[in-house]
Amino acid sequence: MNDKLGNWKRTQLCGELTAEQVGQEVCLMGWVQRRRDHGGLIFIDLRDREGIVQLALDPDRDPQAHTKAEQVRNEYVLAARGKVSPRPEGTVNPKMKTGAVEIEVSELLILNPSETPPFMLDEFSEVAENIRLKYRYLDLRRPTLQKNMLLRHLVAKTVRNYLDEQGFIEIETPVLTKSTPEGARDYLVPSRVNSGNFYALPQSPQLFKQLLMVAGFDRYFQIVKCFRDEDLRADRQPEFTQIDCELSFVSRDDVMAVMEGMIAAVFKAAIDVEVSLPLARLSYAEALDRFGVDNPDLRFGLELVAITDLVAGSQFKVFADVAAADGLVTALNAKGCATLSRKELDDLTEFVKIYGAKGLAWAKVKEDGWQSPIAKFFTAEELAALNDRLDTEVGDLLLFMADTPAVASEALGRLRGHLGQKLGLAKKDEYMFVWITDFPLLEWDGDEQRHVAVHHPFTSPREEDIPLLDTEPGKARAQAYDLVLNGSEVGGGSIRIHDQAVQSRMFELLGIDAEEAREKFGFLLDALSFGAPPHGGIAFGLDRLMMILTGSDSIRDVIAFPKTQKATCLLSEAPNEVGEKQLQELSIRLRKATK
RNA sequence: GGGGGUGUAGCUCAGUUGGUUAGAGCGCUAGCCUGUCACGCUAGAAGUCGCGAGUUCGAGUCUCGUCACUCCCGCCA
């Protein structure tokens, strides 16, 4: 039989005890981290959310409590009454926050025993993730995840306080909502009372927050779950949390300024880092030119340099042909990396192939010139021009990529990021923010033979680019902005279209005809016709922010109950099959899996 | 949909060229131990080598298939 709690009241948390409480009678409750039985004396490390404190059980002082302590095992739930006392000379443990004191236990209750846990609940044991996920409630008891969840709470609280001070109000939006075209695959929920019809879980509260602006709430926010039925990554879960914001009567710069303040407040509160404002900005075009990607890691240089013009007339056919076909030849100079082995260079070549590149040319800069398979194709003048533009010195490694502009940029840009990690250029405790602005509004989708929205269909073009919608829509720039932190996109938003005519034109460009636009988005078009204020907003990925704030490599380490890569929950075993009765109520018949 | 990695005791891993009864550390159990703190000492229990076929006199090891976890490409307005 377990001991009963009775009228015992906890007086404080284990981790809160210090020398200041010496002499006090306390009552603690928590889990057994570890028991050390010396035959006579027994020590028990008692753990709760705030930390660990040592219980000392002396058979001479209190035989009853000591006898009880002999039964205690790891993860038992205990209550202990006793006196806080200073540890004897020479037994203070400086590694513990509470190491100056211990509890001389006079009464001990075993509130609940525990099976032997499947893994040690300490910070030392590295445990396979599938086992951690199956016993997530135990994994969450460990210090790392406890810290991550407490920090996540602090961040959410800081966000709420800041936004409240800035005049934002939190309003909930529906989770059972309408499936809309464009964007990610929707999670669908069948409707019982409207058989054959489905709700969709929101990919974001986009349309509702715009409607809240039409409704006159002026500034809205919500910390809200969003759902996208797409494949997972180390930083992507099918359900994730956004800090979702929308503001009325604002320009792009207004939104960015308010949000920078929030980011600074969060970094100060969470990890005591002063973020200097305003944050850096880069246009999309410049980001691509200099870094090859629209989410550059600015903790290091290693910039890409276009050399198409220098090699267009060269004897090296690969480069000359690409130049002639309006392609891009681009290069980066890895300073001091001429020491890389042939194997390492081969690995880099394999790396860029992942992104569709056909190959990677390299040159090691030596005292007597380039050591490179391609050096012989260039004249002395061409080599001199390349050395000049790439700012080469002896000991450098030059890497060249030639392809279509899209492939060459991305492949070399990813290689830049890869090298930054590999060479240790990206420091974990450095935080380099950059806003990426002036994204293109539309992008041509070759498969579907139509334009698709780069951001989403409600993003406003820049005012001066509105005429381009009728002439060269591909050239129109969006009033959109992403916030990139250390190479990770942590937020993105835009000024929205508040003019019904422009919105209709946008749908047209996306190949959504008037009838379909009415059917899918009629409520938005109607709303825009009833006095919609100019408005815009942004959403931050809370999970990704938490990854960076906690230094986690996996998004699963900042989510209490995450899903596996196949989007299952190893703890609850969702998703699962449901009974015929449930299916019948939903008018659903399953198709046999065809193999 | 595609490419890579991993899977051996409760946990973390080793296991050679295919060859005797599959090992270690931690954990667990029992005993001893009055100042430890990832306590110590002694002894013990503990295995569907992910699963299924195949090759072989013989498979943890080789082949094929399959499942799970993971990283990446595609996908993610």
The pLDDT tens digits of the residues spanning A349-397 come to 999 999 999 999 999 999 999 999 999 999 999 999 999 999 999 999 9
Nearest-CA residue relative to C1' of B1 = A231
Given a contact cutoff of 8 angstroms between Cβ atoms, the answer to whether A525 and A505 are in contact is no
What angle separates helix A252-271 from helix A542-550, to the nearest 10 degrees? 40
Q: How many Å apart are CA A89 and CA A49, to the nearest integer? A: 28
E strands present in A174-262: 188-190, 198-200, 219-227, 239-248
Instruction: Point out the nucleotide closest to A38 (alpha carbon to C1′).
Output: B33
Q: How many Å apart are CA A590 and CA A580, to the nearest integer? A: 10
Q: How many Å apart are CA A280 and CA A297, to the nearest integer? A: 12
Instruction: Measure Cα distances from A43 to A27, A53, A122, A278 in Å.
Output: 17, 10, 17, 53
- A577 or A595, which is more confident: A577
A580 CA → B22 C1’, Å: 48
Q: Are strands A397-403 and A450-453 parallel, antiparallel or unpaired?
A: unpaired
pLDDT band at A251 (very low <50, low <70, confident <90, very high): very high
For A405-427, the pLDDT digits (tens) are 999 999 999 999 999 999 999 99
Q: Name A576's Cβ contacts closer than 8 Å, sequence gap at least 6.
A: none
Query: What pLDDT score does A26 carry?
Result: 97
Q: Name A23's Cβ contacts closer than 8 Å, sequence gap at least 6.
A: A83, A84, A85
Query: What pLDDT score does A593 carry?
Result: 54
Given a contact cutoff of 8 angstroms between Cβ atoms, the answer to whether A247 and A224 are in contact is no
- ipTM confidence score: 0.94
Rounded to an integer, the average pLDDT of A279-306 is 97
Rounded to an integer, the average pLDDT of A517-528 is 93
Instruction: Point out the nucleotide closest to A355 (alpha carbon to C1′).
Output: B73
Per-residue pLDDT for A181 more than 80? Answer: no
> Within a 10 A sphere around the Cβ of A289, how many other Cβ atoms?
18
Signed CA dihedral, A291, A292, A296, A302: sign only: negative
Given a contact cutoff of 8 angstroms between Cβ atoms, the answer to whether A111 and A29 are in contact is yes
CA angle (A113 as vertex; A124, A122 as ends), nearest 5: 5
For residue A536, list its beta bridge partners.
A247, A495
Query: What pLDDT score does A180 carry?
Result: 81
Query: What pLDDT score does A183 carry?
Result: 86
Query: What pLDDT score does A156 carry?
Result: 98
Query: What pLDDT score does A369 carry?
Result: 93
CA angle (A98 as vertex; A92, A104 as ends), nearest 5: 75
**Structure tokens belonging to residue A201:** 């879980």
Going edge to edge, which strands form the sheet with A280-283?
Answer: A169-170, A219-227, A239-248, A535-541, A488-495, A480-485, A433-437, A280-283
φ, ψ at A264 (rounded to 5°)? -65, -40
Write b or e for each residue in A75-99: b if 16 or more Cβ atoms lie within 10 A of its Cβ, otherwise e: bbbbbbbbebeebeeeeeeeebbbb
Rounded to an integer, the average pLDDT of A429-440 is 96
Query: What pLDDT score does A475 carry?
Result: 92
Contacts by A156-160, CB closer than 8 A, 24 or more apart? A156/A223, A156/A542, A158/A265, A158/A266, A158/A269, A158/A270, A159/A221, A159/A223, A159/A243, A159/A262, A159/A265, A159/A266, A160/A223
Q: Which of A47, A105, A40 is nearest to A76 (CA)?
A: A47
Instruction: Point out the nucleotide closest to A104 (alpha carbon to C1′).
Output: B35
Instruction: Point out the nucleotide closest to A458 (alpha carbon to C1′).
Output: B77
φ, ψ at A518 (rounded to 5°)? -65, -45
A75 CA → B50 C1’, Å: 29
Given a contact cutoff of 8 angstroms between Cβ atoms, the answer to whether A118 and A74 are in contact is no
3-state secondary structure (DSSP) of residue A282: strand
φ, ψ at A246 (rounded to 5°)? -150, 140
Query: What pLDDT score does A594 carry?
Result: 45
A133 CA → B23 C1’, Å: 29
Q: Give this prediction's pTM.
A: 0.95
A595 CA → B66 C1’, Å: 14
Instruction: Point out the nucleotide closest to A90 (alpha carbon to C1′).
Output: B35
Nucleotides of B under 7 A from a protein CB: 1, 10-13, 26-29, 32-40, 68-77
Per-residue pLDDT for A595 more than 80? Answer: no
Q: Which bin fits A440, alpha (ψ -120 to 50), beta or left (φ > 0)?
A: beta
pLDDT band at A592 (very low <50, low <70, confident <90, very high): low
Please give the DSSP secondary-structure letter assigned to residue A563.
Answer: -
Residues in chain A: 595
* Average pLDDT in chain A: 95
Q: How many Å apart are CA A528 and CA A538, to the nearest integer? A: 19
A536 CA → B14 C1’, Å: 59
Q: Which of A261, A515, A516, A291 is nearest to A410 (CA)?
A: A291
The DSSP annotation for A156-184 comes to HHHHHHHHHHTT-EE----SSB---SSSS
Q: Are strands A219-227 and A169-170 parallel, antiparallel or unpaired?
A: parallel
A428 CA → B14 C1’, Å: 33
Going edge to edge, which strands form the sheet with A328-334?
Answer: A304-306, A328-334, A397-403, A361-366, A369-371
Say what percent of chain A tops pLDDT 70: 99
Q: How many Å apart are CA A277 and CA A264, to the nearest integer? A: 8
Q: Name A247's Cβ contacts closer than 8 Å, sequence gap at least 6.
A: A168, A213, A218, A219, A220, A254, A255, A258, A535, A536, A537
Nearest-CA residue relative to C1' of B11 = A119
